[in-house]
Chain A
Amino acid sequence: MDGQEELMLVMSNITKRFPGIVANDHVNFALRKGEIHALLGENGAGKTTLMNVLDSIYYPDEGEIVIEGKRVDLRSPLDSMKHGIGMIHQHFMLVDSLSVIENVILGLESQGFYIDKKSVAGRIEAIAKKYSFRVDPYAKIWQLSVGEQQRVEIIKTLFKGARILILDEPTAVLTPQESDELFGILREMKSEGKSIIFISHKLNEVMSVSDRVTVLRKGRLVGTIDTASITERELAKMMIGRDVLFRLERKDIEQGREILKVEDAQVYDDRGIMALNKLSITVHGGEIMGVAGVAGNGQVQLAECITGLRHLVSGHVMVEGIDVTNATPCTLASAGVNYIPADRLGVGLVPNLSTVENAMLRRYRQEPIRRGTFIDYGAACAYADGLIEKFDIAVPLRNAPVKVLSGGNMQKLLLAREIEENPRLLIAEHPTRGLDVGATEFVRKTLLEQRDNGVAVLLISEDLDEILMVADRIAVMYEGRIVGIVDAHHVDIAQIGLMMTGAVGVKV
């Protein structure tokens, strides 16, 4: 490492334990002044935990933190703020119903009883101008796009005088264009001497934007290197500990007949705003239809209205020619519609019930689990054991609440449960979000298997790479409509990016 005076931040021997897991195991991390330092690792590698230690969300069990040569003890987010640390979390910490100004000054001690909105607005605009982007200080957060909200988060940290900026997977919710703009802002900040930590598990971003990269694996430090001196493949190997499959094998199969047909669907979201605006889409058997789009453009509602969880105001949903518009979940189940929801614990699973009780959720009305009024828990256990074995799910105790399972195993359980119903139509919403590489591979392979078996798969994902990897056709959603459908085999990412922002429409 270079001269000591150049170092902005040194974390040494940071250890943080959670019950049953060491999230950070004696991790060392050093950040230079004026660099963009990527923190790379799989899910569960301990990246976020390490940064949460800096942001005082966690207090480390062991280790010390030195900022600009001085030992610091970070006990509350206020301490972190005082030492110039600002973190932009993956899930934004903004109050939706408040304005940009109100969010920016939230928690600032310097504000007195009276809030001088005008001067705050001026300072916000000055910051925005410096990095050449625009934001309306008086807009309410809920009125802003996700990209704009992220900028508010950035302004918030700069307003508080942050010199170390931590961004936790900032591009997960952005379009390719928005990501590029974000990188521009980051480079600008770097040239001003700010130090930036950039958490990611997307290799191409790390390669393109960072100066150095630190790789974590299973809570331990693998190493820190100059980005220029390493290839993408080598980084991947460091991150995972083995070579990764970048391509999945996919058979060429005949497209089957039409299975799902959605016609002119109109649906409102929870706030009563039109979420699907006369949307139409068809999916065939033996085809994976990828739905791409920036989060919040109606993807959730599309899945919900097909699965009977949201009421269609007008339009039709047909499965194999049968009208299932606003049908009950029971009817849909018998029509062969199965669903892997994005929110595993919120929609798919029942967190406090056991693995067995979750496994039988789609089966408890059928023999042999059903015994008249009663449930045969013996049969239910046998059924669950079958799934656990077939899908290789790691379940420490099958009678323990399902919420103690790891994200990957929860997803496997959910996938197993739904696939075991022999679906005709499988709707998978962000099926690999939050999963590590191994589990991700498994889920994608399973989806492809289903496709090969003639199932129609509707894959909703915000991970464009995933869609490109497994989908046959790609539908791009923007503001409740399909703005274009493209063939996944010859596709232009820039084109999709433009479609995601509603800039162009292509009809096929």
Chain B
Amino acid sequence: MLRFEKRDKTPVRLRVLVPICSVLLGLLAGSVVMLFARVNPVRVYGAIVKGAFGSAYTFSETLVIAVPLILISVGLCLVYRMKFFNIGAKGQYIMGAICGSYLALFGPATMSRPVLLTLMLVLGTLGGALWAIIPALLKVYWNVNEVIATLLLNYIASYILWFFMYGTWGTRGFPLSKNFALNAQLPRILPAPSRLHIGLFFGLAAAVIVWIIIRKTRFGYETRVLGDNERAARYAGINVFKTVIIAAVISGGLAGLAGIAHTSAVLRILQLEINSDYGYTAIIAAWLAGLDPLVAVGVSVLLAALEAGGYQIQIVMRVPFGIVGVIESSILFCLLAGEIITHYRVTLTRRLSTPPRSTPRIGKKCSGALDERARGAHESCL
């Protein structure tokens, strides 16, 4: 029989080893699937690593994908800590792209580049923020579940994009906008063919700023109190309305910024496929990072590597891109399962048949947590 006991404290050794083993186990599980698809897992993994980190160029392409993941996941770290489960980053990303692109496509052509780009980024951020304010308002006024609201708003955003692309923004009946003018292209920072752009700095700055907000400011403290115990927050006089709205604006704004930055710097065109699924991948990144914005940067890069490498195996080895999804999810699965080991002590016990020993064993030191269940159900009487 397996027995689970809550740990008082996770040893550092485990905190390092368990995630590593989990990732390895996830890769192993992915290999099994690959064997069924009759491809050599070792070669596939080799190709992924090569495709993601093999050269300066491939690594820069990995970072291109990492930039939007960083921007979005960092914002999600903030709202998830407040237990506002925004899964609408996809929609916010799209709205950011649409709003920013409006200026790129129809703005005054004579505007100087820095001014135009700044305005585009601001407008994109506002677009994403607006798309996050809607569910936030629904939540604080009518207690509408934000998961449902944000999810549905993703579809609405997608169809708004369709509406424009098949409508007046498309060219000659194709769902593609005209190319962005040079003025409306966010600068890239490495020589061609690399597409890495200055959005990377936005992402890194956002990670540091959000980390400071969470850890050092009154607002961050209020979001954490609110996320853990809304009634205590109300009693402490925290303005729940204001806190939820501001946090949603920050998270949505960062997703919108990611949308317009990626569109303007990498795609340089508005189209139906603007990689808005980063909005979902970023959710995984935020959770894997334990909602720590600085860790989220690293996790975003790793997930981006998997994605970038995935394109490579598709091209080089003719393995379906879906394999990447399989690997990604098996890793996630193993990491989540691994948390049981970091949070609980798991022991294998036999049925109780040995005669009880006479010498009582002294309990471990450290007056720590009682069993959660015991505390919950019989708080007063354990």
Contacts and interface: CB of A to CB of B under 8 A. Distances in A.
Interface string B220-232: 0100110011011
A347 interface: yes
A113 B217 CA distance: 59
Interface stretch (A147-155, A173-181, A357-365): A357-365
B232 A374 contact: no
A330 interface: yes
B220 to A, nearest CB: 8
Interface string A352-373: 1100010001101100001001
A64 interface: yes
A434 B379 contact: yes
A433 interface: yes
Given A43-B381, A90-B378, A328-B237, A352 B8 contact: no
Interface string B351-382: 11000110011111111111100110111111
Nearest to B371: A18
A15 B360 contact: yes
A365 B234 CA distance: 14
Contacts of B217: 373-375
Contact of A362 (B236, B368, B382): B236
B218 interface: yes
B188 interface: no
Contacts of B234: 309, 329
Contact of B370 (A18, A25, A364): A18
B280 interface: no
A298 interface: no
B36 interface: no
Contact of A21 (B218, B236, B370, B380): B370
B178 interface: no
A350 B381 contact: no
A62 B356 contact: yes
B9 to A, nearest CB: 9
Q: Could you say which interface size class chain B belongs to?
A: 35 or more
Contact of A44 (B7, B357, B382): B382
Interface in A415-436: 433-434
Contact of A364 (B221, B232, B361): B221
B227 to A, nearest CB: 9
A423 to B, nearest CB: 14
A346 B231 contact: yes
A25 B358 CA distance: 11
B17 to A, nearest CB: 20
A196 B86 CA distance: 52
Contacts of B371: 18-19
A374 B216 contact: yes
B382 A19 contact: no
Contacts of A370: 218
Interface in A333-348: 333, 339, 341, 345-348
Given A373-B219, A434-B381, A351 B229 contact: yes
A13 to B, nearest CB: 4
B228 A352 contact: yes
B200 to A, nearest CB: 27
Contact of B356 (A15, A308, A407): A15
A375 B213 CA distance: 10
Interface in B146-161: none
A407 B7 CA distance: 19
Main secondary structure of the interface of B (DSSP, over half): loop
Interface in A4-29: 12-13, 15, 17-23, 25-26
A205 interface: no
A378 to B, nearest CB: 11
Nearest to B381: A48
Interface string A378-398: 000000000000000010100
A403 interface: yes
A73 interface: yes
B367 A25 contact: no
A349 B237 contact: no
B360 A347 contact: no
B221 A43 contact: no
A167 B229 CA distance: 32
Q: Among A19, A328, A365, which residue has the most Cβ atoms of chain B within 10 A? A: A19
A406 B367 contact: yes
Given A26-B360, A375-B218, A90 B380 contact: yes
B6 interface: yes
Contacts of A287: none
Given A19-B371, A374-B216, A433-B380, A347 B232 contact: yes
Contacts of B7: 19
A60 interface: yes
Given A364-B218, A374-B218, A404-B8, A20 B352 contact: no
Contact of B369 (A23, A346, A362, A403): A403
A46 B235 CA distance: 34
Contact of B8 (A19, A26, A394): A19
Contacts of B229: 345-347, 349-351
B345 to A, nearest CB: 8
Contacts of A255: none
A301 interface: no
A266 interface: no
B356 A13 contact: yes
Contacts of A374: 216-218
A470 B356 CA distance: 47
A426 B9 CA distance: 37
Contacts of B364: 19-20
A103 interface: no
A107 B293 CA distance: 47
A346 B363 CA distance: 29
Contact of B221 (A21, A89, A328, A357): A357
A17 B366 CA distance: 13
Given A91-B377, A309-B234, A23 B382 contact: yes
Given A46-B382, A375-B216, A404-B8, A62 B231 contact: no
Contacts of A23: 374, 382
Given A63-B352, A91-B378, 8 more contacts: A13-B356, A17-B363, A18-B371, A18-B374, A19-B369, A329-B236, A374-B218, A434-B381
28 contacts: A12-B356, A13-B356, A15-B361, A17-B363, A18-B5, A19-B6, A19-B345, A19-B364, A19-B370, A20-B363, A22-B362, A26-B356, A43-B381, A43-B382, A44-B382, A48-B382, A52-B378, A63-B352, A328-B237, A345-B229, A346-B231, A350-B224, A350-B232, A357-B224, A374-B216, A403-B369, A433-B380, A434-B379
Q: When A and B form their complex, which 6 residue pairs have the shortest distance between CB atoms, in order from nearest?
A: A434-B380, A20-B368, A13-B356, A48-B381, A330-B237, A22-B363
Interface of B: 3, 5-8, 216-219, 221, 224-225, 228-229, 231-237, 345, 351-352, 356-357, 360-371, 374-375, 377-382
Interface of A: 12-13, 15, 17-23, 25-26, 43-44, 46-49, 52, 57-60, 62-64, 73, 89-91, 168-169, 199, 307-309, 328-330, 333, 339, 341, 345-353, 357, 361-362, 364-365, 370, 373-375, 377, 394, 396, 403-404, 406-407, 433-434
